[in-house]
Structure 1
Amino acid sequence: MAERNTGSHDGDPGGSGILAGRRALVTGAGQGIGAAVARALAAQGAHVAATDRSAEGVEALAAEHAAADGGSKPGAITPYAMDVTDAAAVNSVTDTVATRHGPLDILVNVAGILRPGPAAELSDEDWAATFAVNTTGVFHTARAVAPGMAARGRGSIVTVGSNAAGVPRVHMGAYAASKAASAMYTKCLGLELARSGVRCNVVAPGSTDTAMQRSLWQDPEAPRRVVDGDPAAYRTGIPLGRIADPADIAGAVLFLVSDAARHITMQELYVDGGATLR
């Protein structure tokens, strides 16, 4: 069943664009890929509830969007502080969003953390914190919004994972494992919800120019090694010869939540410049 444009809700401008009249919630929207996704959805007419553990980033994002072009952009961005590891907080915010703006049509899970280190030397805290955000956070948000989508017979959920979920990476054991778990959870959810018309997909970025990526760079030559490859880390490099911009990932998400992808579900789209040779 294709998702339908449901029109505007009280206090929610209908706007224009391929997502006009739809309501979306994006986690981890305070910076990087999450912010790029929020911008992309709003630019296509969606009313985006931009969430992050800290309100500062999403408030700045909303202000930036409102000020752009004199506020004439088609969609809207409303900021919300939300910690995806807190189930009660997730339920509260999603209920508030539905009450203020209307039922959610789109959920994009972007919130994530990276605690690098040798796989056999990770602390209990690093392991637990990584899974709490990257995996349990996805579970909390999906559980909060999926039943309503299913009842309405439409909806799209996209989890932003990582190509590390499909290819082992040195010093990324907790991160890769958590992303693999969230990817499989999203696909299982998609299978269970398919008959209701709700689609669930995964976007798996490779190296992307974000604060998280830059935290891994220890010297000026690090970006070059990402592109050219690093035999010491068993990395083959990026065949397309460039590190992704967050907008590249947002473009893939926008496609998957749109009606152009209405017959696509339970898929994992790698957006990594060919780095995993898939």
Structure 2
Amino acid sequence: MRETELSGRTALVTGAGRGTGEAVARLLAERGARVVAVDRDADGVAALEAAHGAARITARAVDITDRSAVDELVDEAERTVGPLDILVNVAGVLRAGSVVELTDQDWADTFAVNTTGVFQVCRAVARRMTARRSGSIITVGSNAAGVPRAGLAAYTASKAAATLFTKSLGLELARSGVRCNVVSPGSMSAPTQRQPWTEPDSRSRVVEGDLTACRVGIPHGRRTEAVDIAEAVGFLVSDRARHITMHDLYADGGAALHA
């Protein structure tokens, strides 16, 4: 049943050019959805479209920090692909470094994608969903939004903002039948999340913990994988989660101790 549970639905996934976003787009397509795959990386989403066929995945190269481009994207998607039933915000950047080392540009770039980008895409899509009185919006956040991380202040702050924004949006849209939820990964193997852990023993420090960085480790014994997040998203956008909204689903192997 899960292979067809999203049949007839149209999804827009940002950050779909690689990693978690790509995994989410693939899973939604495999479960029957028509997917608009969005990323600044034109080659990445083009390869995704080629692998699945344009009838299943439509690639669009768009920078979500550009408000006009976002509005045009959503207009075109609704006009040519279909009314959007699902939105998954995955696009994100990570700029590591202590607060005293971060530049203004690091801070601005982080919030432009991780927070403002989420706002702009959600606003454009939510206007359509509320009119139809149905829809599901997911923001892929981070367990770091609820647990301080040394060297990741900009990232954690941006993800905390995106998380609370998504929950607040869920409250505003609840009576319209639109559900808004968050999926929060733990440390992942994606290139953007390997950046802060480049020392020879970094892998064991992530899994086992590092008190100097206020990390308790990962009780489940491994890093989060893209497919873990895709599966969580697949559940939350399905009818199996029809009564779940404003929820933050941690998929981090217990690393945050659900703090």
Identity %, equivalent residues: 61
In structure 1, the residue matched to 2:59 is: 79
Deviations 1:129-161 (Å, cap 9, x if unpaired)?
Answer: 100000000011011110110110100000000
The reply to whether residue 198 of structure 1 matches residue 184 of structure 2 is no
Q: Provide the C-alpha distance between the structure 1 equivalents of 2:188 and 2:35, rounded to a whole number of angstroms.
A: 23
Q: Could you tell me how far 1:215 is from its partner in structure 2?
A: 2.5
**Pairing of 1:29-48 with structure 2 (within 5 A):** 29-48=16-35
- Contact kept, 8 Å, 2:94 with 2:193, in 1: the verdict is no
Please say if 1:150 is aligned against 2:130: yes
- 2:143 pairs, out of 143, 150, 163, with 163
Structure 1: which 5+ runs fail to align? Answer: 1-15
Aligned-partner Cα distance in 1 for 2:100–2:239: 44
Paired residue for 1:235?
215
1:61 aligned partner: 48
* Residues 192-213 of structure 1: CA deviation (Å, up to 9, x unaligned): 0000000000011001121112
Cα separation, 2, equivalents of 1:155 and 1:79: 21
Q: 2:237 aligns with which of 239, 242, 257?
A: 257
CA positional deviation for 1:167? 0.3
Select 2:204's aligned residue among 208, 211, 224. Answer: 224
Matched position secondary structure for 2:100:
helix
Cα offset for 1:216? 2.7
* Correspondence for 1:109: 89
1:51 corresponds to: 38
The TM-score normalised by the length of structure 2 is 0.96
Q: Which residue number in structure 1 is paired with residue 76 of structure 2?
A: 96
> How many angstroms apart in 2 are the aligned matches of 1:163 and 1:33?
15
Are 2:96 and 2:195, in contact at CA under 8 Å, matched by a contact in 1?
A: no
In structure 2, distance between residues paired with 1:115 and 1:219: 17
TM-score (norm 1): 0.90
- 1:172-193 Cα offsets, whole Å, 9 max, x none, are 0000000000111111110000
Structure 2: where are the runs of 5+ without partners? none
Report the CA distance between 1:108 and its aligned residue: 0.3
Q: Match of 1:11?
A: none
Identify the match of residue 213 of structure 1 among 186, 193, 196.
193
* Cα-to-partner distance string for 1:203-242 (whole Å, 9 max, x where unaligned): 1100112111222331342112111111221111000001
Counterpart amino acid of 1:54? D
2:15 corresponds in structure 1 to 28
- Work out the CA distance in 1 between the residues paired with 2:51 and 2:188: 22
* SS across alignment from 1:159: strand
Contact 2:170 2:246 in 1 (8 A): yes
Aligned twin of 1:179? 159
- Per-residue Cα deviation, 1:100-133 (whole angstroms, up to 9, x for no partner): 1111000000000001111233211111110000
Partner of 1:6: none
List structure 1 runs of 4+ shifted beyond 6 angstroms.
none
- Match for 1:130: what amino acid? T
Root mean square deviation of aligned Cα:
1.2
